[in-house]
Amino acid sequence: MPSKLNISIIIPVFNEQEHIANSISNIKKCCENKCEIIVVDGNINCSTLQEINDSEVIKLHSAKGRASQMNCGAAKASNDSLIFLHADTRLPLNVDKLVHEALSIPTVSAGAFKLSFDSESFVMKFIAYIADMRTRLERVPYGDQAIFVKKDIFLELGGFPQVPLMEDVEFFRKIKKERREIIILDETVKTSARRYLQRGPLRCAVRNICLRILHICGVSTFKLAKMYQSKGR
């Protein structure tokens, strides 16, 4: 295994001032400073970027929307493998080696980690368990699972589609359609439960399941985005 692991970590942000410093600190700890870090702000004021004092972090601005922001970061990335990370998701130790080993398997094109939440609530643990079962069965992970992909495959497939919701789902469905292998690692990432706890865990879980079913049934992502926003993120 080479001493330098060519991985770029891309973080799309919008008003994540309170979490970005901890996110960058976590990445550096888990990658031992071997990863390229790219933060892409969708806020016209670049309020999150203003909170970054680390000169090694690449700071970019793009149009609002996770798909646009992540595609912007990927275009700037200089490494062979990409990790797309939410600002409130924490990576496991040795994440660079884990991703490198996974993507070194010739048949594997992309993957993600097992989901967990920073809450001891039984409900949140149950939601994480159901999410893990769904992901392993369907092989379509969500963005809060720190999804990763080979850069050449990402570019070949055109990156994330410009849709307002479920860009991660659409992208992995495209990978599956190409009959490329998706790996789900046993190591976990820890995502903030704040949005679930603010709006009610069961309410959020049911909403997400309903939106996913409607998406499978062919409902437009633009209609789903309106429903998602009307019920609160």
Q: Domain ranges for the chain, please list them.
A: 7-122+133-193
pLDDT at 18: 93
Q: Which residue has the tokens 């001493």?
A: 3
Query: 110-129 burial, b for 16+ CB within 10 Å, e for fewer?
Result: bbbbbbbbebeeebbeebbe
Tokens matching residue 228: 């998602």
- With a CB cutoff of 8 Å and minimum separation 6, the contacts of 104 are none
167-177 helix and 66-76 helix, angle to the nearest 10 degrees: 60
Q: For 70-94, what is each residue's pLDDT tens digit?
A: 999 999 999 999 999 999 999 999 9
With H, G, I as helix, E, B as strand and everything else as coil, classify residue 76.
helix
Residue range 182-208: mean pLDDT, rounded: 91
pTM for the whole thing? 0.91
Rounded to the nearest integer, the mean pLDDT of the chain is: 91
Q: For 44-72, what is each residue's pLDDT tens digit?
A: 999 999 999 999 999 999 999 999 999 99
CATH number given to 7-122+133-193: 3.90.550.10
Tokens matching residue 116: 């967990």
Q: For 11-37, what is each residue's pLDDT tens digit?
A: 999 999 999 999 999 999 999 768 999
Q: Which residue has the tokens 């849709």?
A: 163
User: H or E segment at 175?
Assistant: helix 167-177
Q: Is 194 a residue whose pLDDT tops 80? A: yes
